[in-house]
C-alpha cells in the first residue's frame, strides 16, 4: 500500500458539513433530511481506501438520519446513523479490490451485494462504543444482502 496522506479540508467537528476532494457534501449527507453528520475520521479512512483502490467511488448511501425511511423500518439504528458507514456502488474486480483494501486498512465490518443491478459493497467502522445499547455488537463481521 502506498503511504499517501489525503489533502482534506481542516478537520471539522462532528455534525458539521464534512467533505473533501474525493467526496462531496451531497454524497455524504442524508438523502432524506439533508443532514451531514458524517464522521470526519471515517472520511479520512475512506479517502485513504479510495486513493489506494485508484478508482472513483460512487456512494449510494452514507450518513442516514434515524428518521430516514430505511432506518425507520429497522428495529434498531443501523451503522449509517453513526456516520461511519458507506455503500459504494461497484462490481467484479473493483469489488474484490475494494474489499481487499478495506480489510488491509482495518475495516472489519463488510456487507456484500453482488446480485442484480444494484451491486455495492458496504463498509463501516462501527464499534460497540457506537451502539452501547446493543449487547455484543458484532465488530468483526461480513454479510451478504
pLDDT in tens, 56-77: 999 999 999 999 999 989 988 8
Q: Which residues are CB-neighbours of 124 under 8 A, at least 6 positions away?
A: 79, 80, 82, 84, 85, 86, 107, 109
Q: Is the pLDDT of residue 93 over 80?
A: yes
Average the pLDDT over 69-96 and give the result: 94
Q: Where in the chain are the domains?
A: 26-128
Q: 3-class DSSP state for residue 116?
A: coil
Percent residues over pLDDT 90 in the chain: 81
Whether domain 26-128 has CATH 3.40.50.300: no
Expressed in angstroms, the distance from the first to the final Cα of the chain is: 29
- The grid coordinates listed for 18 are 464534512
Helices (H), 1-145: 25-28, 40-53, 69-72, 92-104
CB 41 within 8 A of CB 83: no
Q: What is the structure's pLDDT at 75? A: 84
Q: Is the pLDDT of residue 94 over 70?
A: yes
Q: What is the per-residue pLDDT across 16-40, written as a single tens digit (0 to 9) for each?
A: 567 889 999 999 999 999 999 999 9
Q: Is the pLDDT of residue 85 over 80?
A: yes
Q: What is the structure's pLDDT at 3? A: 52
Amino acid at each position: 500500500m502506498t503511504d499517501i496522506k489525503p489533502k482534506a479540508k481542516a478537520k471539522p467537528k462532528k455534525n458539521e458539513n464534512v467533505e473533501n476532494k474525493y467526496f462531496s457534501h451531497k454524497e455524504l449527507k442524508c438523502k432524506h433530511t439533508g443532514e451531514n453528520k458524517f464522521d470526519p475520521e471515517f472520511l479520512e479512512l475512506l479517502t485513504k481506501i479510495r486513493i489506494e483502490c485508484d478508482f472513483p467511488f460512487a456512494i449510494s448511501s452514507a450518513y442516514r438520519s434515524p428518521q430516514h425511511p430505511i432506518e425507520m423500518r429497522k428495529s434498531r439504528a443501523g451503522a449509517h446513523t453513526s456516520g461511519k458507514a458507506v455503500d459504494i456502488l461497484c462490481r467484479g474486480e473493483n469489488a474484490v479490490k475494494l474489499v481487499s483494501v478495506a480489510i488491509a486498512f482495518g475495516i472489519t465490518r463488510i456487507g456484500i451485494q453482488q446480485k442484480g443491478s444494484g451491486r455495492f459493497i458496504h463498509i463501516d467502522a462501527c464499534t460497540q462504543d457506537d451502539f452501547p445499547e446493543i449487547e455484543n455488537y458484532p465488530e468483526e463481521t461480513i454479510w451478504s444482502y
